Amino acid sequence: MTTTAPSPAPTASAAELVRRLRRTFAGGHTRNLAWRREQLTRLRALVTECEAELSAALAADLGKPALEAFVTELAFVRVEIDTALSHLDAWTAPRSVRVPWKQKPGRARIVPEPLGVVLVIAPWNYPVQLLLAPMVAAIAAGNCVVAKPSEVSAHTSAVLARLIPQYLDPDAIAVVEGGVAETTTLLGERFDHILFTGNGNVGRIVMAAAAKHLTPVTLELGGKCPVIVDRDADIDVAARRVAWGKYLNAGQTCIAPDYALVHADVEERFITGLVRSIREFYGDDPAASPDYSRIVNGAHHRRLLGLLPAGDPDAGTVVVGGTGDEHDWYFAPTVVRDVSPDAPVMQEEIFGPILPVLPVASLQDAIDFVNGRDKPLALYVFSGDDAAVEQVVAHTSSGGVCVNHVVVHFMNEDISFGGVGGSGMGGYHGQAGFETFSHLKGVVGRTVKPDPKVAYPPYSAFKRAILRRYL
């Protein structure tokens, strides 16, 4: 985990790059459905043929196990590509819509058209999936793309920057590596859409830069995603599934369970189930497990250590874990109980393998707790009572909800994935992604005749009466 990352190769200036892509788009090259299919097919070949190389880069950046890399990164992108290829004809076809009787005879339709040149800025935690999946949507919609991988996951960034031009059309799709300076320079250019995945602080910077050009944005941010465990939930299943979703990628997942609100009557059983699940998943020494990832770098490792109780009784009590090795960037799967809502671990998105468990007296108390904070990207509820589930769904707001499981709603390409409020705006995946990167243009056609003069001035009393009656 301390290997030296490759340095990005020098690239053309941002202004020159965007001008070049605009020339490509203006030539109509990317509007062709055959071109879109070819690019998507080539992207699928990249993910398939280069699996070993991409997995090695993910291991170097995040200690990501090969199976986890396949399931959460590579296979996910392939599903997005296959979905787009299967539905491209239907998505791009004009859609007939109703014509009001007052506008007849005539026809109306909605025509999806590409936006132009779009920018995709990816994070470091799922650096393949969260760069390539939005690109799938943008390419399917017929756009040129500037892809900006995260410099934090530098090995993966370097591999993608080398492979993408080999597989995809370099006249329409470009990769820009680098850090804050390069991203800032890119944001100074005018794009037709920007999709950013990351934290809210950077999201505000992206949105402010986009506003200068009136560029629409999709912001996939984070937040503290709560788990509500009701008294009549299947506690063993709830504990096992929460542990799986929390410690996947060592907790570095924007929709990972951030904290658990557990009915006080079942808190002990839930915590016991968490501890048992951690041992079943990763053994007595998770550091030796081939299935457990690492923290991305030393700075994040130190940040997570700072969220532990460290003797403060209001900050909670470590039940399991609470240890780490900064040399290896290992951080143990950790459960903390007796946590005050004002504790440091409850003030920011954890984005690591620490799970605070807070008891609540009732389901309504859990709902009130969630509603007293920023709207999360995901909310999870475990209950055997359908009425209780509907109460949570109806009286909370979140980007998405998953009932009796965690994370898996993200994998349904027929559901738009996105946040609300502080957790983001806009969405993508499947058709929703295609429409994010498209303009759904309304087209109305009228016949030449009849052409009644009552519609035109001068407006006599008779014309006014007719128009006021029927319009």
Tokens 């609540």 belong to 360
Positive/negative CA dihedral, 272, 273, 276, 281? negative
How far apart CA 148 and CA 122 sit, in angstroms, is: 6
- Mapping DSSP to helix (H, G, I), strand (E, B) and coil, where does residue 253 land? coil
Nearest alpha carbon to residue 454 among 446, 462, 463: 463
Residue 254 falls in the annotated catalytic set: yes
Complete DSSP assignment for 104-115: -SEEEEEEEEE-
| Annotated catalytic residue within 50, 144, 225, 254 | 254
Residues 6+ apart with CB under 8 A from 15: 189
Burial class (CB in 10 A: 0-12, 13-18, 19+), 299: exposed
How far apart CA 248 and CA 306 sit, in angstroms, is: 21
Pairing of strands 330-331, 334-337: unpaired
Complete DSSP assignment for 398-420: -SEEEESSSSGGGG-TTS-B---
The answer to whether the CB of 317 falls within 8 A of the CB of 338 is: yes
| Annotated catalytic residue within 68, 151, 177, 220 | 220
The answer to whether the CB of 196 falls within 8 A of the CB of 321 is: no
Residues 6+ apart with CB under 8 A from 123: 130, 150, 152, 197, 198, 254
Residue 220 falls in the annotated catalytic set: yes
Residues serving a catalytic function are: 220, 254
